[in-house]
Amino acid sequence: MNIVRNLSVWLLLVGLFFGFYLFLEYFGIKTSLIFSVAIATMPIWLPVTTFYLFYEKWVAFVQFQADLKVPRVTLEITLPQEIFKSPLAMELVLNQLYQKAGADNHIQTYWEGKHPPTFSLELVSSQGHVRFLINTQVKFKNIIESQLYAQYPGVEVRELPVDYTAEIPKEGKGYWSYSFHYKLTKADAYPIRTYIDYGLDKNPKEEEKIDPISVTLESLAALGPDEHMWVQILIKANRSYDFKSGSLTAKPDWKGGVKKEIANIIEGAKKRGAASADEERGSSTALLDSERDAIKAMDRSLSKYAFDAKIQGTYLAKEESFNGGRIGTLASIFRPSDDLARNMIGITWDTNTAWPWWQDRKGRNTTRWKKEEIENMKRRAYKERHKKDTGMVLTTEELATIFHLPGSVVTSGNVARIGSLRSEAPSNLPI
């Protein structure tokens, strides 16, 4: 947390105040009245200054402490031999994770740290063995299991007795690592390329499917001995916030931003169309095909549940097994969902500095960041590294595109599947 840093800033401001007083005294400027007024009014301006300085950090702190008290489990999903469902099935599962209930009063918000729960959708490769996992609070375990069994008959869902991250020592001791934070390259209102754009909503024949997640899984399956790759998609229901729910100012949900972007596109097209009409080269409307596609996709997204999402990924390996080429694989792991005309998931931060010779001359920051990222992923925590590293908003359609259970179009043997079809015993068997 950054509370200590903010306390240092506050102490610096107080020090500057007294330093200014001493400076004026040194030059013989009468300050007794000024200083007396400042001291007398300190009970007014000091709490105000402190409040704005610590507000967000305090809210984040109490929420973090609240999360530490809530038991969590990691559920592993083992695929059956055949899955004939489109990613819409995963979208229906994700609908049940839209849990936006938060604090009922200010005490729960600012003292108990109550807030909507966070779920973690995880793609993990341990030495090339690819796994699908969901990390959740214990109380949501039964909901997730029942929804997965309902939408994907034949899958096997089991609770891991020991979390897979425990395989890596604390702070990654003995391992080299490289981590990324991801973010949409354009406004949240613009959707990425989804499974609907790939035609998977029409349930094509298995041999005709073009499933974007197949590229991701094949990349994960390519890892060798002593190599690990973790991708965590941390999601929390997108909702409006006010002071009672933990925001200093009223914050609406994301839908207003979507409608604004649609209006901006149409307005821009009208201006372009009017200009072309004046020059007798077109009509009064000039929507481009890409703009029509974007408006259609944004309009469709308004009918979906949306989540505040933060995505982080880490590649770890023993020194003798570390392969720098895997860094590029991790950086482009969401490339199949890119739509150059709409949006894409890009890199917003990584554990290396662009100019290490002056930004991090002795490499201490990079070393500390790498240790912190490993520990954050073990705790399913996300630390914002700069002012733009704030995550993104993704709808269930977008999330189901980058995290869903694939059919036999994924041929890699490193993606675990159940050996045979499982079903319930007939009800009329003699006892």
In this structure, the answer to whether residues 193 and 97 fall within a common structural domain is yes
Q: Does some domain include residue 412?
A: no
Query: What confidence score (pLDDT) does residue 80 get?
Result: 87
Per residue in 343-382, pLDDT (tens digit) is 999 999 999 887 777 777 777 889 999 999 999 999 999 9
Amino acid (one-letter) located at 45: W
Domain boundary among 22, 47, 70: 70
In this structure, the answer to whether residues 17 and 60 fall within a common structural domain is yes
Cα separation, 228 vs 128, in Å, equals 8
Q: Does some domain include residue 182?
A: yes
Record the tokens describing residue 278, joined without a space.
């004046």
CA 53 from centre of chain: 26
Q: Closest Cα partner for 334 from 135, 184, 189?
A: 184
In this structure, the answer to whether residues 385 and 292 fall within a common structural domain is yes
Q: Is-contact 112 62, C-beta < 8 A? A: yes
Q: Does some domain include residue 414?
A: no
In this structure, the answer to whether residues 51 and 117 fall within a common structural domain is no
Q: Does some domain include residue 425?
A: no
Q: ∠ CA 130-329-293 to the nearest 5 degrees?
A: 95
In this structure, the answer to whether residues 13 and 112 fall within a common structural domain is no
Count Cβ neighbours within 10 Å for each residue of 330-369 and write b for 16 or more, e otherwise: bbbbbebbbbeebbbbbebbbbbeeeeeeebeeeeebeeb
Residue-number span of the structural domain to which 334 is assigned: 72-402
Q: Is-contact 96 41, C-beta < 8 A? A: no
In degrees and rounded to multiples of 5, residue 227 shows phi and psi of: -115, 140
In this structure, the answer to whether residues 76 and 66 fall within a common structural domain is no
Cα separation, 290 vs 192, in Å, equals 13
**Domain tally, the chain:** 2
How many Cβ atoms from other residues are within 10 Å of residue 131's Cβ? 20
In degrees and rounded to multiples of 5, residue 256 shows phi and psi of: -60, -40
Domain boundary among 46, 70, 94: 70
In this structure, the answer to whether residues 23 and 126 fall within a common structural domain is no
In this structure, the answer to whether residues 59 and 82 fall within a common structural domain is no
CA 257 from centre of chain: 19
Query: What confidence score (pLDDT) does residue 1 get?
Result: 46
In this structure, the answer to whether residues 109 and 201 fall within a common structural domain is yes
Q: Does some domain include residue 421?
A: no
Q: Does some domain include residue 426?
A: no
Domain boundary among 53, 70, 87: 70
In this structure, the answer to whether residues 66 and 80 fall within a common structural domain is no
In this structure, the answer to whether residues 54 and 136 fall within a common structural domain is no
In this structure, the answer to whether residues 23 and 150 fall within a common structural domain is no
Cα separation, 287 vs 270, in Å, equals 8
Regions of the chain with pLDDT less than 70: 1-18, 20-46, 276-285, 411-413, 419-431
Q: Does some domain include residue 149?
A: yes
Query: What confidence score (pLDDT) does residue 424 get?
Result: 55
Cα separation, 330 vs 177, in Å, equals 12
Cα separation, 81 vs 415, in Å, equals 11
**Measured CA distances, 300 to 122, 131, 286, 309, 394 (Å):** 26, 31, 22, 19, 13
